[in-house]
Amino acid sequence: MSLIEYSVEGAVALLTLNRPPVNALSAALVADLESAVARAADPAVRAVVVTGSPHFAAGADIGELKAAAAADETPLAGRLSAALVSLEGLPKPTIAAIRGFALGGGLELALACDFRYLAADARVGLPEIRLGIFPGAGGTQRLPRLVGLGKARELIYTGRHVKADEALAIGLADMVVPADDLAAAALEGAAALAAGATAAIGAAKRAINATLGLSMEAGLAVENAGFNACLGTEDAAEGLAAFLEKREPAFKGR
């Protein structure tokens, strides 16, 4: 069974993460995401909604990430980053419909979409710093462009969770609705966009993404190199182990 359920309603493709209980991002899920994004490139699809339940995605599979670090391999972050570049590059509007948690790689997935609709009880954040690492799939590049440098630094350096109302206030969310209304709101918004001049929307999207200073590719290369180096530190080994052992990490700054 695919870890990304793909369906189409009218001209809207719905990509639903399906890896219970929290949609942790694994290599297999990312591979299915790549396939789903490729399917959504179909010209008959004019808008895309990405979602998951009961949580959007609570971050990377820490056990898998720790195993990769122990083997001196870091395929997950790089592959997720590449998948999100493909998602971001779709020449059609995309909406992330977020319920529950969207943390770490889950929020990075949402950041690669054009819009973020949040359930009122949703929580988002980039808590990687608590593991002795930092966002490695676009978080350091996309978040500052969305909420500004100062707020992005604060969220990345502290790793704190952000409630839906604050996310809306700082521009991290575009809409907040009751949890029961989230799916309908996202599909309604996507259908309205799909009914518009999607060729022009795609051209505008390409123009916006191409003129944000440093290219995304260059920024992601810097991020990926830094993430790989960070993953090899003692603090990262301690942070990942502490998470799996359900204890507080004791970082040493090395």
Per-range mean pLDDT, top range of 103-117, 127-141, 223-237: 103-117
Displacement of CA 253 from its chain's centroid (Å): 27
pLDDT above 90 (res 172): yes
Confidence label for 210 from pLDDT (cuts 50, 70 and 90): confident
As a whole number of angstroms, the distance between CA 34 and CA 209 comes to: 20
Q: Which residue has the higher pLDDT, 38 or 75?
A: 38
pLDDT of 163 above 80: yes
**Known catalytic residue at 34:** no
Any idea where the domains of the chain sit in the sequence? 4-180+190-198
**Half-sphere CA count of 77, side-chain side, radius 13 A:** 28
Q: What percent of the chain is modeled with pLDDT above 90?
A: 65
Amino acid occupying residue 211: T
- Measured in residues, the chain has a length of 254
- Which two structure tokens, joined as six digits, stand for 73? 């391999």
CA proximity to 202, closest of 110, 112, 95, 94: 94
Residues 6+ apart with CB under 8 A from 76: 25, 26, 27, 30, 60, 61, 64, 65, 68
Residue 208 has a pLDDT of 81
* Backbone φ and ψ of 245, nearest 5°: -90, 0
pTM of the model: 0.87
- pLDDT at res. 201: 87
- Tens digit of pLDDT for each residue in 121-137? 999 999 999 988 899 89
Options 3.90.226.10, 3.40.470.10, 3.40.50.300, 3.30.70.141; CATH for 4-180+190-198 is 3.90.226.10
* Averaged pLDDT, 192-215: 82
3-state secondary structure (DSSP) of residue 56: coil
The residue ranking higher by pLDDT, 62 or 35, is 35
> Which of the following is catalytic: 34, 88, 128, 223?
128
Our answer to whether residue 108 is catalytic in this structure is: yes
Cis peptide before 54 (omega within 30 of 0): yes
> Contact 41/81 with Cβ under 8 angstroms?
no
From 34, 88, 108, 223, the catalytic residue = 108
List pLDDT tens digits, range 66-86: 776 666 555 677 888 899 999
- Rg of the chain on CA atoms, in Å: 17
